[in-house]
Amino acid sequence: ETSLLEDEDVFKLIPSQGVIEGGMQVNLKASFTPKETKSYTTKVPIFLDNDKNPYMWLEFQGHGIQPNLKFDRREIILPPVPLGIEAKSTFRVINNNFGYENLDVKYRISQEMGKIPITLNFLDGKTLGVTRKE
């Protein structure tokens, strides 16, 4: 019964409830999605035979950390070009935090740059994984 989870948005179990008959096995999928940079702990009760008191508790712990992106260069300087000619540059965004397996990149172009036609293309997709080579 996971409705008793203290941080229900942070820790999730699937399935969140159910009955296990004798001799059965059930795989639980636990996920951890921290909202802040801090430690989290919660306990999930396990009940037997409709008993009101938990038979045991499963304890979950996790520590939230901030994403950390790294770029393969400090700046990009595009050369001046005649009208109608594109200037291009390629750079890599690297998931530099081993606490996150994958990060989805979101971006916003500054309003100051809004009058300049700038486009961003993600050659390898917007998901950065720690297993991806630089």
- Average pLDDT of the chain is 80
Helix (H, G, I), strand (E, B) or coil at 62: strand
CA distance 133 to 18: 42
Cα–Cα distance between 78 and 29 in angstroms, integer? Answer: 48
Q: How far is residue 97's CA from residue 49's CA, in Å, rounded to a whole number?
A: 44
Answer yes or no: are the C-beta atoms of 2 and 17 closer than 8 Å. Answer: yes
Mean pLDDT of 86-112: 78
Neighbours of 26 (CB within 10 A): 9
Tens digits of residue pLDDT in 27-63 = 888 888 888 888 898 888 888 888 889 989 989 998 8
Question: For residue 120, which phi and psi values (nearest 5 degrees)?
Answer: -115, 130
pTM: 0.49
